[in-house]
Structure 1
Amino acid sequence: MTNKKAIIFDMDGVIIDSEKYWKQAEYEVFTSLGVRVTDEYSKITKSMTTAEVTQFWHDKYPWKNKDAAVVEQMVISRVIELIETENCQINGVKSFIEKLKTRKYKIGLATNSPSRIIPVVLKKLGILHLFDSILSAEFEKKGKPDPAVYYRAAEKLFTKPEDCIVIEDSYTGMLAAKNAGMTVVAFTNGNKEIDCKIADYKIDSFENNEIELLKMN
């Protein structure tokens, strides 16, 4: 991959272990509004943007007296509370990004998560200064698996999509990056259930010198 110029990271599940916080926040907020949150439907909403998740549950169990946008912000605020108070960093991610910077890669972030959460995460992990571009799919017409946020990320990094490497942990994220014409590295964090079939490469950890993968042709 020596010809690549930029590395773009997903956020949830890649630089922060936050899936459990989203699940908790959504359960707390939506059940308080009379929604029956089930594992079956939660699997469907897992890869959606927060706005899409909120609309999904409202369609299933319409609530009154609270606008969907207000409910969405309630979920986001709860996730922020949990991130700020819990230990949720992915091991080795900061030093991994620092090594990429020393090799002159441009560093981007492209996430389905709302923009409000991004600075909270990056400041907590002490890595905000390491990113050249930060994007949330909430400002695109569609979130991942639509490739829009990755096209935008390449544009912001002044890099062609084919010169970008994307690090993702979800199939929908990998699909978005693939559809944008980018090279995909699946990050599993030891989770054997992650579907990596469409990824070009796979790493299980940001430790143990797995950065050497990025020197491959």
Structure 2
Amino acid sequence: MTSTAVIFDMDGLLIDSEPFWAKAEKMVFTSVGVELSDSLCRETAAMTTREVTEFWYRRFPWRHRSINDVENDVIDCVDELIRKHGEPMPGAQQIVSYFYSRNCRIGLSTNSPYRLINTVLKKLDIAQYFHGISSSEHVERGKPDPSVYLSTLQKLGVHPEHCIAFEDSSSGVRAAKAAGIKTIAVPPAHDFDKPDYSLADSKWRSLWEFSEKAFYLT
């Protein structure tokens, strides 16, 4: 069946921003007395920014700063790092342009705060290609819940069976599949062979693997 829409994740899929989140969280959370550990950081990898902030507050409750203020400090730091150092993931700009040139509806579904979306799309010079964007900030629950994908489908005005999703995280794959969308996983190299991505309909090593034949597009 011909796909008429595509929905992309953002962090780690379109832009190489995962290191920025790690750097910002380390800087901000340690400044308020949080003792970060690699094992606990792995638990927060798929969470929203608010969920991450609440996670650390429960374990190391700080004083004199609200959860909201600390969360915004993290977001501000990531925003600055993206503006200064943000780089596209291999093939990201090309695949978005590819689908746009074939009159596909293009969406974005991310766990990141809404205000970072504009920063990323402007940095990559692809904002003009998107017809609908959704942040977990504006739905009840973030990924792996499907809400952020269902929101984007509604904005695009398409049914899930006519859509393809691209995700780099296993929680994102679960969210897209729960929304009924055919999903292509593009995991980070160190996670590529993990069974967590078994739900995906296909698995690529990078976005460079796209082709017309892969999507049966006319």
Structure-2 residue corresponding to 1:14: 13
2:35 and 2:212 map into 1 onto residues whose CA distance is: 43
Q: 1:212 to 1:206 in 2, by over 3 A?
A: farther
Q: Is the 8 A contact 2:2 2:216 kept in 1?
A: no
Corresponding residue SS for 1:116 = helix
- Unaligned 5+ residue runs, structure 2? none
Q: 1:208 to 1:48 in 2, by over 3 A?
A: closer
**One-letter amino acid of the counterpart of residue 206, structure 2:** S
Q: 1:193 to 1:42 in 2, by over 3 A?
A: farther
**One-letter amino acid of the counterpart of residue 160, structure 2:** P
Corresponding residue SS for 1:153 = helix
Q: Is the 8 A contact 1:203 1:210 kept in 2?
A: no
2:103 and 2:79 map into 1 onto residues whose CA distance is: 32
Q: CA deviation at 1:48?
A: 0.4
Q: 1:108 to 1:162 in 2, by over 3 A?
A: same
Structure-2 residue corresponding to 1:75: 74
Q: CA deviation at 1:188?
A: 2.8
Structure-2 residue corresponding to 1:206: 207
Structure-2 residue corresponding to 1:150: 149
Q: Is the 8 A contact 2:54 2:67 kept in 1?
A: yes
Corresponding residue SS for 2:114 = coil
Q: Percent identity?
A: 41
1:211 and 1:61 map into 2 onto residues whose CA distance is: 50
1:193 and 1:182 map into 2 onto residues whose CA distance is: 22
Structure-1 residue corresponding to 2:50: 51
In the TM superposition, 1:30-41 aligns within 5 A as 30-41=29-40
Corresponding residue SS for 2:15 = coil
Q: Say what the alpha-carbon RMSD is for the aligned residues.
A: 1.5
Q: CA deviation at 1:73?
A: 0.4
2:84 and 2:100 map into 1 onto residues whose CA distance is: 29
1:87 and 1:112 map into 2 onto residues whose CA distance is: 18
1:134 and 1:21 map into 2 onto residues whose CA distance is: 22
1:68 and 1:23 map into 2 onto residues whose CA distance is: 18
Q: Is the 8 A contact 1:108 1:132 kept in 2?
A: yes
1:21 and 1:37 map into 2 onto residues whose CA distance is: 16
1:207 and 1:82 map into 2 onto residues whose CA distance is: 25
Q: Is the 8 A contact 1:7 1:166 kept in 2?
A: yes
Q: Which has the higher helix share?
A: 2
Corresponding residue SS for 1:90 = coil
Corresponding residue SS for 1:91 = coil
Cα deviation, 1:77-99, whole Å, max 9, x if unaligned, reads 00011111114211221121111
Structure-1 residue corresponding to 2:115: 116
Give me the TM-score of the superposition, normalised by structure 2: 0.94
Q: Is the 8 A contact 1:190 1:205 kept in 2?
A: no
